[in-house]
Amino acid sequence: MKVAIIGANGKVGRRIVERMRQAADFDPIALVRSADQCEAFARDGIEARLIDLEGGFAAGLVGADAVVFTAGSGAHTGKDKTLLVDLWGAARVIRHCREHGPRRFIMISAIRAGDPDEAEGGIKPYLVAKWAADEYLQHSGLEWTILRPGRLLDTPGTGRVAAATRLSRRHGEIPRDDVAAAVLAALRQPSTRGRIFELLSGEEPVETALR
């Protein structure tokens, strides 16, 4: 399966690309926003394409069987970029996929995006943007899966998670490695289509938890 990863240079995106490169059933396309990033992936033997979520991106999706959206404006930008990238950028990609393909779409969201009113302070605009993008995807007609991880860690993955449409505990952590593993598991399992999974570190193997 040829998979376009939007936000491939991010901390989760790089882990997804690396896992797919090592897997026999995936062929990653790294979609990035700078020529330097594009060249770095190419040096590692990974197909990379230059896109701009606020401009042109359609050429990056040509030939892909699925899309993983893991792009974000970043913690050091203002609310304007949160709106333009996390919400409007996602919506533009979803609309393009609805009209031109690919049909399979994995969204990396956030655990409290299901109810942004649970949050206070500076993170709330980000969660509102994620909520709106998730809602738009759910009504797009695409074959979607939404993954909503807790606080992301750079520690090595355990391969074990807790996953449910709504977990009983809403605060927790998960290594980025395990989020990447969940992306591959979701793409492999047709039963994950049309499903939302909140993700935290847990006891079940990733493949089992998403099944």
Domain holding 100: CATH number? Answer: 3.40.50.720
Instruction: Please report the pLDDT score of residue 76 as a whole number.
Output: 58
What does the longest C-alpha to C-alpha distance in the chain come to?
44
**How would DSSP label each residue in 188-202?**
H-GGGTTEEEEEEE-
- Tokens standing for 117? 């009113």
Instruction: Please report the pLDDT score of residue 82 as a whole number.
Output: 83
Catalytic residues: 126
Q: What is the pLDDT of residues 113-158, one digit of tens each?
A: 999 988 777 788 899 999 999 999 999 999 999 999 999 999 999 9
List the Cα angle 168/169/171 in 5-degree steps.
Answer: 155
Strands of 35-185, DSSP E: 47-50, 66-69, 104-108, 143-149, 151-153, 160-164, 173-175
Question: Domain containing 105: what range?
Answer: 2-210
Task: Compare 117 and 75 and report the one with higher pLDDT.
Answer: 117
Instruction: Please report the pLDDT score of residue 44 as a whole number.
Output: 94
Q: pTM score, two decimals?
A: 0.95
In the predicted structure, residue 183 carries a pLDDT above the cut 90: yes
In the predicted structure, residue 189 carries a pLDDT above the cut 90: yes
CB-CB contact of 67 with 105 (8 Å): yes
The mean pLDDT value for 70-82 works out to 73
Instruction: Please report the pLDDT score of residue 66 as a whole number.
Output: 98
Distance CA 164, CA 206 (A): 12
Number of separate domains in the chain: 1
Instruction: Please report the pLDDT score of residue 168 as a whole number.
Output: 85
Residue 106: pLDDT band (50, 70, 90) is very high
